[in-house]
Amino acid sequence: MKVHRGTQLLCEYSPGLKVPMMFQMGMFEIVRDDEKFCMILQMPYEGHTAAYFILPDKGQLERMASSLSCGVLQKWKSILSESNINVYIPKCLVSGEIKLKNIMYSMGVADVFADQADLSGVTGQTQLRAVIMIDEKGTEASAATSRDLVPMFASTVVTFNMPFIAIVQEQNTQRTTSRRCTMKSIINCLLLISLQVCCHQFREYPDHDHVDKDKNPHKHHKLPLAEEGHKYLNYHKIVSSNSEFAFRFYQEIASDAAAQNIFFSPFSISTAFALLTLGAKSETKNQIHKTLAFNLSDIEERKIHEGFQQLINGLSHPSSKAQLNIGNALFIEESLKLLAKFLEDAKMFYEAEGFSTNFSVPRLVKKQINDYVGNKTHGKIPRAIEHLDQDTVMVLVNYIFFKASWEKPFDTRLIRKKNFFVDANTTVEIDLMRHTDYYNIFRDQDLSCWVVEIPYKGDVTALFILPDEGKLERVEAALVTETLSKWTTSLTYKNINLHFPKFTISTSYNIKDLLQRMGVTAVFNDTSDLSGITGECNLKVSKAIHKTMLNVHESGTEAAAVNVIQFMLRSARIKPSLFITFDRPFLLIILIKSMGSIIFLGRIINPAEE
């Protein structure tokens, strides 16, 4: 240990004293006992012996000392955890003399002090003398040596500048201390989402005679701009609904993907279908609103669209430190005439672009859409659409691109190959990143999981939820807005050793099937009423595809999301410190802090499975 100049030692019943204070920074076993109002620090010697230093809170020395027992010591030893701390301990030489007669008598040793005692050859007082010296080399008579210093960020500071208790105990087994180096790190999350919604026109209008021909079918539709300077404050009215939809949709995916990775953008999906309600009517609209968790008795329909308008605008400009671009596009059959009101509202509320497209040449349509999505997602989703039905007349695309760096980046030099335990029988090798620093964390005892917040620069943050072994399904079953609120309000700032995997995964979902199970059926069949789009009940959604990619690495986070919805004409029916190591399946939630809006939600079962 290094010795510092004199430091004030705060005595319990007298003014402070100047003492030389020793300093050590490194990894030590430590625990906070809130019941006993004290900190317990273990400092091992060479061999089988260790010292336990107990630092009571101010004024709690007598209370803590009166509760000392073997059981208490065993409890402390069982809950110690290794943490990066700064330790300050006074250099001291203490001697004392204790008369044991009264003490031993009160403990039941009486005869030895009475007249009937048979201790031939022994006379005089019974007393104990003790000397203990603690210095920078260790404790005399125990051959203690100091630990090697390791370069680390300043972490928890434990200063023994008040009265404390020391216990030296022989350990049963050789203690091996582990060392951790500081990691300066960035996690990169590459989040790419693609939702494809395709509309088909009903066959009873095969010649499209009921619509006006566009004089210039290849032009970009001019959509009116939103009102300049008009501010809406309704996003908070839809955030809770979006969260409820996110967790319900997650449960639907999880029911089909018991041992698979899950990753999707609930905000992307809800935005695409909320835009669709601009043209939906009757039961078609009601089913979508209900599934998206909107109750029109609690919120006006226009307020829903205004809420999305503000979220899209706010999320697209969260800060200069994080890039988050959100948008919508309509690729429209050149002979299909859309109502001006629908186009105006799509532009005003959802920043939607419109493109006239010749769907008679599917190959060129797919290239046009994929080039558009690839450009908006910076090449991260090169093939948003793989197949177009021959009757497709409109495609709605919603995309999200997200790029940000973590506030506390990872050091690439500290990445190591480690095992990730997929399940009891499956282990895969992954690159594990490491970082020792302060993070907001929460231990949910009820759900048996750790919650770690890893923030990005700017207004975006990520919650990573690590269930205890065998507790994943229990945590998943509790994924509701109330649980998320409990986690976010219970976080505390602590120093931890974070071990996190580097990985890339991609997913694709047929959300038509998922939404039908959740109650959205009319928009997909011949009862569909999307007359607010064309003025006729001649459209239905034939396909809705959601594609995602997530890339977590040491350089930062890059993400994109795109939803593609195909429409067709109606025809026949169609279908502390802690070591928190993410080396087993975990959940993740990425959200905007200021708005509380979930933009990505997922589960990582096997990070080695791309």
Greater confidence (556 vs 109) lies with 109
Rounded to a whole number of angstroms, the CA Rg of the chain reads 33
Half-sphere exposure of 551 (CA within 13 A, CB side): 20
Q: Are 563 and 268 in contact (CB under 8 A)?
A: yes
pLDDT at 600 over 50: yes
**171-185, 304-318, 412-426, 526-540: segment of lowest average pLDDT:** 171-185
- pLDDT of 48 reads 58
**Listed ranges 411-420, 563-572, 574-583; the one with the highest mean pLDDT:** 411-420
Rounded to 5 degrees, what angle do the CA atoms 285, 291, 293 make? 105
Greater confidence (314 vs 46) lies with 314
Greater confidence (321 vs 463) lies with 463
CATH class given for the domain over 10-110+127-141+154-172+186-194: mainly beta
- pLDDT of 181 reads 26
- pLDDT of 347 reads 93
Phi/psi at 410 (nearest 5 deg)?
-90, 150
**59-68, 235-244, 298-307, 366-375: segment of lowest average pLDDT:** 59-68
**Tokens, residue 296:** 């029109």
Q: Are 242 and 299 in contact (CB under 8 A)?
A: no
- pLDDT of 177 reads 29
pLDDT at 608 over 90: no
- pLDDT of 516 reads 95
* DSSP type of residue 522: G
User: Helices 266-276 and 282-291 sit at what angle, rounded to 10 degrees?
Assistant: 160
Strands 262-264 and 578-581: unpaired
pLDDT in tens, 297-323: 989 999 999 999 988 887 776 555 677
Half-sphere exposure of 576 (CA within 13 A, CB side): 15
- pLDDT of 138 reads 54
Greater confidence (82 vs 424) lies with 424
Q: Where do the structural domains in the chain lie, given as residue ranges?
A: 10-110+127-141+154-172+186-194, 234-404+506-551, 406-502+566-604
Q: How many CB atoms sit inside 10 A of residue 411's CB?
A: 16
Rounded to 5 degrees, what angle do the CA atoms 146, 148, 154 make? 105
**145-159, 376-390, 459-473: segment of lowest average pLDDT:** 145-159
**Tokens, residue 331:** 């690729």
d(CA 406, CA 187): 6
**20-34, 278-292, 332-346, 445-459: segment of lowest average pLDDT:** 20-34
Which residue in the block uniquely carries the two structure tokens 């001697």? 95
Q: In whole numbers, what is the pLDDT of the chain averaged over residues?
A: 75
CA 101 to each of CA 107, 108, 556: distance values in angstroms, whole numbers, following the listed order:
10, 11, 69
- pLDDT of 25 reads 73
- pLDDT of 218 reads 30
Domain 406-502+566-604 in CATH 3.90.650.10: no
Same fold? 234-404+506-551, 406-502+566-604: no
593 band by pLDDT with thresholds 50, 70 and 90: confident
CATH class given for the domain over 234-404+506-551: alpha beta
